[in-house]
Amino acid sequence: MEGEIVALIGSNGAGKSTLLMTICGNPHAKAGEILYNNRDITRLSTYEIIRSGISHAPEGRRIFPHMTVLENLQIGARDKECFNREVDRIFTLFPRLKERMHQQGGTMSGGEQQMLALARALISRPRLLLLDEPSLGLAPLLVKQIFKAIREINETEKISILLVEQNAYHALHLAHRGFVLVNGIITLTGTGEELLNNPEIRAAYLEGGR
Amino acid sequence: MIQRQKQNNFNKELKDALLTALITFALTVLLFGVRTVQQPGKLGIETRWSWVILSVIAAFFGRLFFVFCTGLINNKGSYFQGVADNITKIGGTVKILTTVILVLTAILLPLLPFSDRYVIDIATLVLTYIMLGWGLNIVVGLAGLLDLGYVAFYAVGSYSFALLAHYHDLSFWVCLPFAGLFAAMFGVILGFPVLRLRGDYLAIVTLGFGEIIRVILLNWYQFTGGPDGISGIPRPAFFGLEFKRIPPEGTASFHTFFSIEYSSLHRIIFLYYLILLMAFITNLFVIRLRKLPIGRAWEALREDETACRSIGINPTNTKLTAFALGAMFAGFAGSFFASRQGFISPESFTFTESAIILAIVVLGGMGSQIGVVIASIVLIGATEFFRELEEFRMLVFGALMVAIMIWKPKGLISHRAPTVRLHT
């Protein structure tokens, strides 16, 4: 599990985003428990969960539109030492953000905003990154770029990633393992490759979905 | 073709002005047109149709002129907008220059030739509102929590000083920190129940809170003196030197210590410098806070609360500190107010005060420090300046507000300065 990319795919309303939100304790799970590093985090409040090393890049990017790129990053970093230490790493990962560092978040293009959302989640050096639809509303070329960045993050920094995607094709290509969620229940599991070649998956999520 | 277009536009403008005149007629026909008068033995009616006609004509031509100037209907780019944009484009040097001029004027004001007692009094009042505006700027401008009951903290600060002085004979300087502390405490008390609320709902609850404080002060007669208020509040002393003509036996007064002629102006000037100092400290504090993680967390909270949670900001603490710190500055300003007036009653802490302070923050441009200064000077200073107009003074106040909203719909200073720069 550690260092893996896990993709969670499913149709609209399957409960993918809800699952990610629940892992972050917003809202809290009503039943069952959530384990992270063998520690029960079900009842912790959102900020405690985030501080224990899980980062969440929520759906729709949700960057702070009136704040500059640097300010967005600094909020993600939470303290000054972390910011000063990590900002160069972020800028090598996303050179585009360096060019735009004094620009207001809201005035950037969708792809740049998504990069910023990723960067903001990464700057606190999480062990686990929860990504909610990083390809949402982006042009195909930009989607490729974003997924390339995700792979890089995973390979160079060994950060585990839980990826929620509509874009099943890209997600499964990237992922080591995949889960298919239907109405809140996991119906299929397998490696990314297995799922990609599974005829049911092909029919439901890939063909025509591309 | 163009001729036709112009004709068309003019028709539109004319129609718009006629409509405005019609609305004015509907409003004024009863408000201005008829008036009840006391006649011997009965109540009579007097008609003033000339007033109605005058206001309708004024509205018609006023609107026509306004539409003509702003291009509101034709969307041909507003004339006023252009002016406003030019004002916004003032560069960094101009901004620094403005600040320096404002600060210098503020420091040198009592020495300037035209400064008499009246001018300094108005300046003191304006500075009080500036300080309150800066305090409220934390809550509304930075943290984005719409607070309509800010005057409650002002009242708590005033009353904690007045009551401590009344019951325990403590001086202004001893009470000042307590006043801030009590107000901050009330800020947290208000903050707790409203943590989940946002926007309109928050505004309603804070409005209610402001009224609760006022009503308690009004009705707790044994303790606060109710509507009679508290009088004989001690004046602040200058390093232990009081501003009295005849100092009590064995103590020195300001003028005897420096062996100068007694003048009642000394205290006025001292109060002016006191509030100037307090306002400066508030300003420095808020500017500094904005660059700290907590300040950035406030601004992030204003922008997107959900995103804040997902990057590990604790919204509870963030909101409570905003309420507490904002309230603290109102508390300081409140105890200054009590000390300056020497008498306070719940009358001074009505909703109107909250509304004025909020108006200063909003019109100044949410989150802008210098905007608050300009808005205070314009709103408070100008309305005081037009005091001779008596009840029509509020018309000036309203007209100023409308003018600012037309020219600068986002507030006087809507530019937001970034808080981080990379040292490269």
pLDDT tens digits, one per residue of B49-108: 888 888 889 888 888 887 777 655 444 444 444 444 444 444 567 777 888 888 888 888
Write down the pLDDT at residue B424: 45
Domains in chain B: boundaries = 2-77, 112-235+266-407
Q: Do A102 and B418 touch (CB under 8 A)?
A: yes
* Interchain CB contact of A63 with B (< 8 Å): yes
What value of ipTM does the predicted structure carry? 0.84
For residue A57, what is the nearest residue in chain B, using CA coordinates?
B310
CA distance B73 to chain A (A): 29
What is the CATH code of the structural domain delimited by B112-235+266-407? 1.10.3470
* Interchain CB contact of B259 with A (< 8 Å): no
Residues A36/A52, Cβ–Cβ less than 8 Å:
yes
More confident residue, B271 or B243: B271
More confident residue, A210 or B192: B192
Write down the pLDDT at residue B423: 55
Length of chain A: 210
With 0-12 / 13-18 / 19 or more C-beta atoms within 10 angstroms meaning exposed / middle / buried, residue A38 is exposed
CA distance B208 to chain A (A): 30
Backbone angles phi, psi at B199, to 5 degrees: 55, -130
* Alpha helix segments (H runs only) across B225-292: 254-257, 265-291
Nearest to B330 by CA among B133, B197, B160, B173: B133
Given a cut of 80, whether residue B229 has pLDDT beyond it is yes
Write down the pLDDT at residue B73: 46
Tokens encoding B19: 């409509």
Nearest to B272 by CA among B100, B120, B102, B114: B120
Contact list in A for residue B301 (CB cut-off 8 A) is none
- CATH class of domain segment(s) A5-206: alpha beta
User: Hunting for tokens 């000063």 — which residue is that?
Assistant: A84
Q: Which residues contact B125 (CB under 8 A, 6 or more apart)?
A: B380, B384
Between chain A and chain B, how many beta carbons pairs sit less than 8 Å apart?
A: 81
More confident residue, B406 or B370: B370
What number of other Cβ atoms are within 10 A of residue A183's Cβ? 10
Nearest to B157 by CA among B343, B357, B338: B338
pLDDT digits (tens, 9 = 90+) for B288-305: 998 888 998 999 998 888
Domains in chain A: boundaries = 5-206
Write down the pLDDT at residue B323: 94
Alpha carbons A168 and A190: distance in angstroms, whole number: 14
User: Hunting for tokens 């399957």 — which residue is that?
Assistant: A14
Residues A29/A184, Cβ–Cβ less than 8 Å:
no
Of A54-58, B66-70, B347-351, B410-414, least confident by mean pLDDT is B66-70
> Strand pairing partners for B96?
none
Write down the pLDDT at residue B74: 47
Burial B42-60 (b: 16+ CB within 10 A, else e): eeeeeeeeeebeebbeebb
What does the pLDDT average to over B327-349?
94
Alpha carbons A201 and B381: distance in angstroms, whole number: 71
* Interchain CB contact of B309 with A (< 8 Å): yes
| CB proximity under 8 Å: B 278-297 to A | 293, 296-297
Residues A95/A119, Cβ–Cβ less than 8 Å:
no
User: Hunting for tokens 């979905």 — which residue is that?
Assistant: A209
Type of residue found at B409: P
Residues B22/B45, Cβ–Cβ less than 8 Å:
no
CA distance B291 to chain A (A): 10
Backbone angles phi, psi at B144, to 5 degrees: 70, 25
* Interchain CB contact of B311 with A (< 8 Å): yes
> Which among A68, A102, A121 has the least Cβ separation from residue B311?
A121
For residue A70, what is the nearest residue in chain B, using CA coordinates?
B420
For residue B316, what is the nearest residue in chain A, using CA coordinates?
A47
Alpha carbons B300 and B306: distance in angstroms, whole number: 10
* Interchain CB contact of B416 with A (< 8 Å): yes
CA distance B124 to chain A (A): 35
Of B29-43, B188-202, B382-396, least confident by mean pLDDT is B382-396
Q: Do B310 and A78 touch (CB under 8 A)?
A: no
Nearest to B179 by CA among B203, B149, B158: B158
* Alpha helix segments (H runs only) across B109-198: 117-136, 151-168, 172-191
pLDDT digits (tens, 9 = 90+) for A135-151: 888 888 888 888 888 89
Write down the pLDDT at residue B2: 64
User: Hunting for tokens 């000037």 — which residue is that?
Assistant: B269
Percent of chain B with pLDDT over 70: 92
Tokens encoding B390: 């008596």
pLDDT digits (tens, 9 = 90+) for B102-156: 888 888 888 887 778 888 999 999 999 999 999 999 999 899 899 999 999 999 9
Q: Three-state SS string across chain B, please?
A: CHHHHHHHHHHHHHHHHHHHHHHHHHHHHHHCCEEEEEECCEEEEEECHHHHHHHHHHHHHHHHHHHHHHCCCCCCCCHHHHHHHHHHCCCHHHHHHHHHHHHHHHHHHHHCCCCCHHHHHHHHHHHHHHHHHHHHHHHHHHCCCCCCCCHHHHHHHHHHHHHHHHHHCCCHHHHHHHHHHHHHHHHHHHHCCCCCCCHHHHHHHHHHHHHHHHHHHHHCHHHHCHHHCEECCCCCCECCEECCCCCCCCCCEHHHHCCCCCCCHHHHHHHHHHHHHHHHHHHHHHHHHHHCHHHHHHHHHHHCHHHHHHCCCCHHHHHHHHHHHHHHHHHHHHHHHHHHHCEECHHHHCHHHHHHHHHHHHHHCCCCHHHHHHHHHHHHHHHHHCHHHHHHHHHHHHHHHHHHHHHCCCCCCCCCCCCCCCCC
Looking only at the bridges linking them, the beta strands covering A177-182 and A5-9 are: parallel
Write down the pLDDT at residue B311: 85
More confident residue, B39 or A116: A116
Residues of chain A under the 50 pLDDT cut: 209-210
CA dihedral A105, A111, A115, A118 (to 10 degrees): 100
pLDDT digits (tens, 9 = 90+) for B193-219: 888 887 789 999 999 999 999 999 999
* Interchain CB contact of A79 with B (< 8 Å): yes
Write down the pLDDT at residue B187: 94
